[in-house]
Amino acid sequence: MKNTLICFDLDGLYFTEQSFQRFKETLAPNVSKEKRDYVLALSDEMKRFKAGEVSEEEYRNRAKKELWLSCANEEIYERLRESYEVNEKVKELISVLKEKWYKTGVCSNNFPTRIRELDKKFNFIKDFDVHIFSYEVGILKPDAKIFQELINKSWLQPHEIIYSDDKEDKLTGAKSLWIQTFVFHSFEEFVEDLRKCGIDI
């Protein structure tokens, strides 16, 4: 195994940018986009859920009330699974990287419902040698502490880790620790940026 970890975010990179938007629309089609975005992405309650400070049941009950949902929990999970799709180019690249003995990782602000249900559908966690989820460590990006967890779990030096995210503001903590970083704009640029970092692909 080479002493290099290639790590990135999930939404907008491993999973397509449209996936989460599709879930929000199918879950609460009669609610305004602003309301859906707030409850399911931007609210303090969601941030606390992603940080592991709120239980799955507590957040789910709050969200169902605010979005006027009467559906069963399993229906919510099913809509989540059906809404998501993998960026097949990224998935194929991971296979190539692993064949070349690079380590692969994911570092994501996320919540247990999404990780559990998407892993049921895609069995994606096995694609990564290292995974850091915010709800497990109680820290949200861009806090440097979550990236320190990534360093600790990978058993590598910061300069041996490459991290990419589709949101530039999520990179600040990684940069402060001297992890190599760049913003994901497109798959083609992603590959080129990896090559600039010395990755043989």
CA distances from 191 to 76, 122, 178 (A): 35, 23, 21
CA distances from 201 to 72, 91, 106, 194 (A): 46, 14, 19, 8
Query: Tokens at residue 53, please?
Result: 């400070």
Give the integer Cα–Cα distance in Å for 197 and 105: 16
Instruction: Tell me what pLDDT residue 2 has.
Output: 81
Topology classification of domain 5-17+86-196: Rossmann fold (3.40.50)
**pTM assigned to the model:** 0.94
The DSSP code sequence of 88-133 is HHHHHHHHHHHHTT-EEEEEE---HHHHHHHHHHH--GGG-SEEEE
Locate the domains of the chain by residue range: 5-17+86-196, 18-83
Tens of each residue's pLDDT in the chain, 201 residues: 689 999 999 999 999 999 999 999 999 999 999 999 999 999 999 999 999 999 999 999 999 999 999 999 999 999 999 999 999 999 999 999 999 999 999 999 999 999 999 999 999 999 999 999 999 999 999 999 999 999 999 999 999 999 999 999 999 999 999 999 999 999 999 999 999 999 998
- DSSP structure class, residue 142: T
Dmax (CA) of the chain: 52
Q: How many CB atoms neighbour CB 36 within 10 A?
A: 21
Q: How many CB atoms neighbour CB 25 within 10 A?
A: 15
Phi/psi at 13 (5° precision): -135, -75
